[in-house]
């Protein structure tokens, strides 16, 4: 019986430890060396530790309040040997609530009443997600010509953001809920929050590219026709959007295009979703076209999943060839794309999709280890168009980031 209880307790402890380990993984420890100056050893040490915090986490955390906390703690132990006073180190860790994990004094010197202290300090730092290293994009509210188009603009921006996020190729930054984010950051900086948690402050990301644009037209047209003494009424919706991708630091326009679609009825929302799907695909195809990541017989695993890929969609299978360089600008124009087959998506997961090969002119499994295969959605022109629907698709553009331009 005791053994069963012990096993049960062990299982419970294991379940508790795993989440705690995962929760703690967002905080890492960074050791740095800094110097500080002041009219006492305590003040100079406090200055050095404050500089260490600023070096690791930014000036937002190395505030006057923190410096005061450090100075008060160190001045309390002014008579001790700071390099060996473990009680002082522990006091600092407690007073800063874990932000300054530990430190040791490397050297101290006095000149004309001014002390200079060099320290080696271990500071808590918020470990950002690896996704933050992706190309960063922000979809900003699209401008409108009338107040009635505001709802359409909001739905389009929301849908475009969701599509680009699900591609998992970019770090999509939110600007729509900035107030809520600021409120949460205010909680982190309030009294009672551990400074180790406060390490999350000062980590706001800046965007690389802004996606902006204008809703040029979002209208519903009604047409009446007299037939055999009766009046027949038909509605059609039209949506026209122009957009740009702008390099945030320089303001340079990296891409500009437009999309126009129409549909029978008054389904402007459906057109907004269709526009978001087409534009997001154009952006992804330009920067990071979908690659074949694994081959198993006639099954291909694609490096993209989520809402942007749907079961039943057919993609052209392309073999990447030589790089193409513009003769005038010497910039990369992409690479040769040799069509070698056709595939159909049979399963979609959050990060990957599985497709079956419908036809192929090469032995994919044989070439795959040393060759790069990409896929592009079969054009609408190659499929029967749904009744009452027409659209204008954006033309191919060059990649937005130099690293990607060198490949595609």
Identify whether the C-beta of residue 114 lies closer than 8 Å to the C-beta of residue 38.
yes
Span 81-100, average pLDDT: 58
- Does the structure show a pLDDT above 80 at 386? no
Same domain, yes or no, for 118 and 193?
Answer: no
Low-confidence winner among 45-49, 89-93, 98-102, 262-266 (lowest mean pLDDT): 89-93
Low-confidence winner among 206-220, 351-365, 389-403 (lowest mean pLDDT): 389-403
Same domain, yes or no, for 31 and 105?
Answer: yes
Boundary-marking domain end, from 126, 144, 170:
126
Same domain, yes or no, for 370 and 408?
Answer: no
Same domain, yes or no, for 113 and 68?
Answer: yes
Q: Residue 43 burial by CB count (10 A; 0-12/13-18/19+): exposed, middle or buried?
A: buried
Identify whether the C-beta of residue 343 lies closer than 8 Å to the C-beta of residue 314.
yes
- Does the structure show a pLDDT above 60 at 397? no
> 2-6, 37-41, 208-212 — which one is most confidently predicted on average?
208-212
Span 334-349, average pLDDT: 93
C-alpha separations of 114 from 38, 109, 293 in Å: 6, 8, 62
Instruction: Report the percentage of the chain scoring pLDDT > 90.
Output: 37
- Does the structure show a pLDDT above 60 at 400? no
Same domain, yes or no, for 83 and 181?
Answer: no
407 domain-assigned: yes
Q: How many domains does the chain have?
A: 3
Alpha carbon 215 to its chain centroid, in Å, reads: 25
Q: Could you tell me if residue 75 is left (phi over 0), alpha (psi between -120 and 50 degrees) or otherwise beta?
A: alpha
* pTM of structure: 0.65
Same domain, yes or no, for 146 and 269?
Answer: yes
Same domain, yes or no, for 149 and 245?
Answer: yes
Same domain, yes or no, for 147 and 244?
Answer: yes
Confidence of residue 232 (pLDDT cuts 50, 70, 90): confident
Q: What's residue 340's pLDDT?
A: 94
Same domain, yes or no, for 167 and 249?
Answer: yes
SS3 276: helix
- Average confidence score pLDDT of the chain: 78
- Give the residues across from 354 on adjacent strands: 301, 347
Same domain, yes or no, for 260 and 134?
Answer: yes
Any idea of the CA torsion for 338, 339, 344, 350, to the nearest 10 degrees? 20
Distance in angstroms (rounded) separating the CA atoms of residues 275 and 281: 10
52 domain-assigned: yes
Query: Which domain, by its residues, includes 34?
Result: 24-126
Boundary-marking domain end, from 126, 142, 158:
126
Same domain, yes or no, for 276 and 313?
Answer: no
């Amino acid at each position: 019986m005791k053994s069963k209880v012990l096993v049960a307790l062990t299982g419970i402890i294991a379940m508790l430890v795993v989440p705690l380990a995962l929760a703690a993984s967002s905080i890492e420890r960074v050791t740095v060396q800094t110097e500080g100056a002041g009219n006492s050893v305590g003040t100079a040490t406090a200055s050095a530790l404050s500089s260490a915090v600023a070096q690791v986490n930014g000036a937002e955390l190395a505030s006057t309040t923190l410096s005061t906390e450090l100075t008060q703690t160190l001045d309390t132990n002014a008579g001790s040997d700071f390099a060996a006073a473990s009680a002082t180190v522990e006091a600092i860790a407690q007073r800063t609530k874990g932000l300054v994990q530990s430190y040791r004094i490397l050297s101290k010197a006095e000149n004309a009443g001014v002390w200079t202290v060099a320290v080696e300090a271990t500071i808590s730092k918020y470990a950002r997600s690896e996704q933050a290293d992706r190309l960063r994009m922000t979809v900003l509210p699209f401008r409108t010509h009338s107040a009635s188009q505001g709802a359409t603009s909001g739905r389009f921006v929301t849908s475009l953001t969701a599509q680009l996020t699900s591609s998992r190729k970019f770090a999509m930054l939110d600007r729509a809920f900035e107030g809520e984010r600021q409120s949460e950051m205010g909680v982190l900086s309030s009294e009672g929050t551990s400074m180790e948690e406060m390490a999350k402050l000062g980590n706001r990301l800046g965007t690389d590219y802004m996606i902006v644009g204008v809703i040029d037209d979002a209208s519903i047209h009604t047409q009446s026709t007299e037939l055999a003494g009766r009046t027949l009424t038909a509605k059609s919706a039209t949506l026209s959007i122009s957009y740009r991708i702008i390099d945030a630091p320089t303001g340079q326009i990296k891409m500009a295009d437009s999309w126009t679609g129409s549909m029978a009825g008054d389904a402007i929302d459906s057109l907004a979703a269709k526009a978001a799907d087409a534009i997001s695909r154009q952006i992804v195809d330009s920067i990071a076209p979908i690659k074949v990541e694994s081959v198993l017989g006639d099954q291909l695993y694609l490096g993209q999943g989520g809402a942007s890929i749907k079961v039943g969609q057919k993609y052209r299978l392309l073999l990447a060839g030589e790089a193409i360089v513009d003769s005038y600008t010497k910039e990369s124009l992409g690479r040769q794309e040799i069509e070698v087959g056709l595939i159909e998506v049979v399963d979609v997961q959050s990060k990957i999709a599985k497709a079956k090969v419908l036809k192929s002119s090469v032995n994919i499994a044989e070439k795959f280890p040393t060759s790069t295969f990409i896929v592009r959605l079969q054009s609408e022109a190659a499929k029967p168009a749904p009744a009452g629907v027409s659209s204008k698709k954006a033309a191919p553009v060059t990649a937005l980031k130099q690293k990607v331009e060198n490949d595609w």
